[in-house]
């Protein structure tokens, strides 16, 4: 029996993005491309489900990779005792645009009256088209909101001049796509070829 596919595609762009490399510590530096978990988070800004989830498969990078310095005033729980806040110096991406492709997967096979994959696919595409969101969309860090988040546009194309190797990338922070426990996993030698990176 051939399993039916439930494809998803969307485009997201913004003035800044941050997909932090965990090895860069307190002065974070972004990966050159979005992580798989970041793409899943973008999807979940539109709709979430306990029974099905979005599995990113590939991304087309539609703008040059440009880094710039970014300073953030941090007031969270990790600040030094007795201080009001401190500044975090980061290296983030500038003027990003991505076309994201993936599929909807589920933990169990569809039932006669309930197909979690089909339902999640339909709700996502309907909300994306109408501009409805479950929460504010973001590009890695919450303050980096997109300038565009919607269906694929014909005017944007993958940057075919972009070819590089990412030696190691954090793929997931959890052992399960939803309601998982912290269990970081990495993949080595991620290739970006002609502006396309594949996670499958």
Tens-digit pLDDT profile for residues 149-191? 999 999 999 999 999 999 999 888 888 887 788 888 899 999 9
pTM score, two decimals?
Answer: 0.88
Structural domain includes residue 30:
yes
> Which pair of tokens denotes residue 100?
């994201």
The pLDDT of residue 1: 42
What is each CA distance from 79 to 8, 28, 43, 184, in whole angstroms?
Answer: 40, 16, 31, 24
What CATH number does the domain containing 52 carry?
Answer: 3.30.70.2660
The pLDDT of residue 3: 65
Domain that holds residue 128: 7-157
By CB atoms closer than 10 A (0-12, 13-18, 19+), residue 172 is middle
Structural domain includes residue 44:
yes
Structural domain includes residue 176:
no
Q: Where residue 48 falls among pLDDT bands split at 50, 70, 90?
A: confident
Quick one: CA dihedral 73, 66, 186, 39, positive or negative?
Answer: positive
Longest dimension (CA), the chain: 63
């Amino acid at each position: 029996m051939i399993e039916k596919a439930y494809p998803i595609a969307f485009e997201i762009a913004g003035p800044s993005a941050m997909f932090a490399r965990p090895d860069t510590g307190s002065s974070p530096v972004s990966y050159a491309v979005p992580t798989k978990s970041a793409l899943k988070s973008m999807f979940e800004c539109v709709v979430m489900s306990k029974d099905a989830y979005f599995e990113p498969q590939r991304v087309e990078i539609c703008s040059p990779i440009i880094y710039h310095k970014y300073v953030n005033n941090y007031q969270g729980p990790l600040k030094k005792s007795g201080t009001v806040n401190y500044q975090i110096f980061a290296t983030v991406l500038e003027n990003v645009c991505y076309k994201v492709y993936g599929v909807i997967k589920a933990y169990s096979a569809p039932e006669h009256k309930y197909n979690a994959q089909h339902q999640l696919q339909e709700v996502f595409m309907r909300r994306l088209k109408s501009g409805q969101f479950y929460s504010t969309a973001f590009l890695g860090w919450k303050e980096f909101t997109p300038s565009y988040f919607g269906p694929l546009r014909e005017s944007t194309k993958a940057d075919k001049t972009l070819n590089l190797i990412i030696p190691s990338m954090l793929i997931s922070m959890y052992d399960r796509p939803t309601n998982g426990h912290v269990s970081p996993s990495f993949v080595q030698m991620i290739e970006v070829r002609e502006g396309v990176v594949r996670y499958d």
